[in-house]
Amino acid sequence: MGVTKSIVVWFRLDLRLTDHPALHAACQQGGPVVPVFVWAPEEEGPWQPGGASRWWLHHSLVALDAALQARGSRLIVRVGPTAPALLAISREVNAGAVFVNRRWEPAMRSIEEHAHAALTAVGIPLRRFNDATLFDPGSVRTRSGHPYQVFTAFWKACLQRPEPPAPLPEPGRIKGPATWPSSVAIHALGLLPKPDWAAGLRAAWQPGEAHAQRRLRQFVVESLKAYPERRDFPGVSGTSRLSPHLHFGEISPRQVWHAVTAHLGKVRNAKESRAAWTFLRELGWREFAHHLLFHFPHTVEQPLRPEWKHFAWRQDRTSLGAWQKGLTGYPIVDAGMRELWATGWMHNRVRMIVASFLVKDLRLHWLEGARWFWDTLVDADLANNTLGWQWSAGCGADAAPYFRIFHPVRQGEAFDPRGEYVRRWCPELARLPDQWIHRPFEAPPLVLQAAGVRLGLDYPEPVVSHASARQAALVAWDSMGRISKSA
């Protein structure tokens, strides 16, 4: 009688047990299952996980290992390169196959192909499953067979496809090998920051599958019905805050989809139904981001619209530093950048405001913003980050026109009318009346004095005049058009 071969399950950004296609299929085989995570950040090139992402990854791996141990298994951690690490562990446990959930980021696809070649060369198949998106990004195309570049048409095509499959159940007891292979301790990967600057992240977040599921349930029950009215206001709790859990695969997009559609079946009025579909549309934007990255992988570094290679971006390290530190003199921008630094997250409306300010008021390259977000966001997702920054800069798919320049004062007054958000993150302005909270540089001297605000000392003067910067940006945009036509 032959020896039962093990199945290696290669975990990446799918750090959960429920609705995990590769793990589910491996458990169905009936033999030993060996969960493996390989740490090889250098293989991801210039987009290696940033500081905030590494903090989250550490705690997510710890949570995954604990969940596996509760089911009689454990997480085996190895240090890359990936292909040799997978090959070595497959030989150690007499693996008959390696199962993995696909990823669509360019570097991760390349890593996957190298692993496939190395494993196949010695007769070990790599079996791949679709997991990261609701729909295979390579399968959603226009009638002419081209990738979509307009979101509305893309999402309409997605909604005409069969509904995403129901989530798979979590496994019961997971059968392990007779002898477990060696593993690197998670703390030995050095993911936690030294010195420890993560107190704000710990206060704001709890990584792990259990917390992801709890957050989803809470959002659907308590917040979904008011989502359209509250989602644009950073001073209130109106969004799901599921983005980091989705990025690290602690919850799947299918779980989110079916939780919301199950709720749809219980609602009794059109308002709640619209709220649910408004939220699902935002899940659609995540799909669109992965669709674009799959078809246009060069956009992580280059504009999708080639004429933008001629745009006259400025280089100004002083202005960039003021933006990064939340010291621009525009309260809604500064509040957003300080929230990001403290918590590793920023409200989506504010992300658009601070991005517009960087690429249009300061006219600094969108890659400067993309790289800063990449290092500081706990939900730093390559597809979403690329789409968001190219959208703001006007150089991507379905992008905001460059001449649509957010007015930082008016945006603050519209979406933080009472200044709760600004007062939280810019406490030096807390005593200003609502009328002046978003425009302290225009407040009368007596108002500033009463609020204890000394411009240039307690809070900075604006680094740029929005009116002048707007005009300069439009001139640069017009010049780009003339240059690209003559090129």
Task: Quote the pTM value.
Answer: 0.95
Task: Answer whether 374's CB lies under 8 Å from 385's CB.
Answer: yes
Region of 97 (left: φ > 0; alpha: ψ -120 to 50; beta: rest) is beta
Q: Is 282 a catalytic residue?
A: yes
Domain ends where: 243, 260, 295?
295
Same domain, 267 and 348: no
What percentage of the chain carries pLDDT values higher than 70? Answer: 98
Is 485 within a domain? no
Same domain, 119 and 257: no
Is 181 within a domain? no
The pair of structure tokens assigned to 176 is 């392990």
Same domain, 18 and 116: yes
> Is residue 148 helix, strand or coil?
coil
Taken as a whole, the chain contains a residue count of 487
Give the ranges where 236-303 is alpha helix by DSSP (H).
243-247, 253-264, 270-295
Domain ends where: 228, 263, 295?
295
Same domain, 147 and 251: yes
Quick check: bond before 167 cis, omega within 30? no
Question: CB-based burial of residue 392 (10 Å sphere; 0-12 exposed, 13-18 middle, 19+ buried)?
Answer: buried
Is 310 within a domain? yes
Domain limits for position 222: 133-166+211-295
Is 205 within a domain? no
Q: Which helix (H) or strand (E) holds 476?
A: helix 466-486
- Say which DSSP state 161 is in: S
> Is residue 129 helix, strand or coil?
strand
Q: Which range among 132-136, 270-274, 287-291 shows the weakest confidence by mean pLDDT? A: 270-274
Q: What is the pLDDT of residues 111-125, one digit of tens each?
A: 999 999 999 999 999
Same domain, 262 and 318: no
* Residue-level pLDDT at 478: 86
Chain CA centroid to CA 307, Å: 27
Same domain, 24 and 152: no
Is 386 within a domain? yes
Contacts for 271 with CB less than 8 Å, ≥ 6 apart: 225
| Total domains, the chain | 3
Is 333 within a domain? yes
Name the pairing type of β-strands 6-11 and 33-39. Answer: parallel
Long-range interactions of 353-358: CB distance < 8 A, separation 24+: 353/406, 353/408, 353/411, 353/412, 354/323, 355/388, 355/389, 355/392, 355/393, 356/392, 356/405, 356/406, 356/408, 357/323, 357/328, 357/330, 357/333, 357/406, 357/408, 358/320, 358/323
Task: Answer whether 37's CB lies under 8 Å from 76's CB.
Answer: yes
Q: Is 389 a catalytic residue?
A: yes
Domain ends where: 237, 260, 295?
295
Position 1 pLDDT exceeds 50:
no
Is 184 within a domain? no
Question: CA dist 450 to 256, 331, 400, 430, 441, Å?
Answer: 48, 18, 40, 11, 15
Q: Is 372 a catalytic residue?
A: no
In the set 170, 285, 307, 428, the catalytic residue is 285
Task: Identify the band that residue 385 occupies on the pLDDT scale cut at 50, 70 and 90.
Answer: very high
Q: Is 348 a catalytic residue?
A: yes
CA distance 176 to 296: 40
Same domain, 141 and 284: yes
Q: Is 391 a catalytic residue?
A: no
Q: Is 55 a catalytic residue?
A: no
Is 389 within a domain? yes
* Residue-level pLDDT at 398: 80
Task: Answer whether 390's CB lies under 8 Å from 303's CB.
Answer: yes
> Is residue 454 helix, strand or coil?
coil
Q: Find the CATH number of the domain harbouring 412.
A: 1.10.579.10
Same domain, 342 and 435: yes
Q: Find the CATH number of the domain harbouring 27.
A: 3.40.50.620
Same domain, 389 and 419: yes
In the set 348, 413, 420, 428, the catalytic residue is 348
Same domain, 339 and 250: no
Same domain, 317 and 349: yes
Q: What is the pLDDT of residues 236-259, one digit of tens each?
A: 999 999 999 999 999 999 999 999
Same domain, 88 and 215: no
In the set 366, 374, 425, 436, the catalytic residue is 366
In the set 155, 389, 391, 425, the catalytic residue is 389
CA distance 248 to 378: 9
Position 367 pLDDT exceeds 80:
yes
* Residue-level pLDDT at 290: 97
* Residue-level pLDDT at 152: 95
Q: What is the pLDDT of residues 139-155, one digit of tens each?
A: 999 999 999 999 999 99
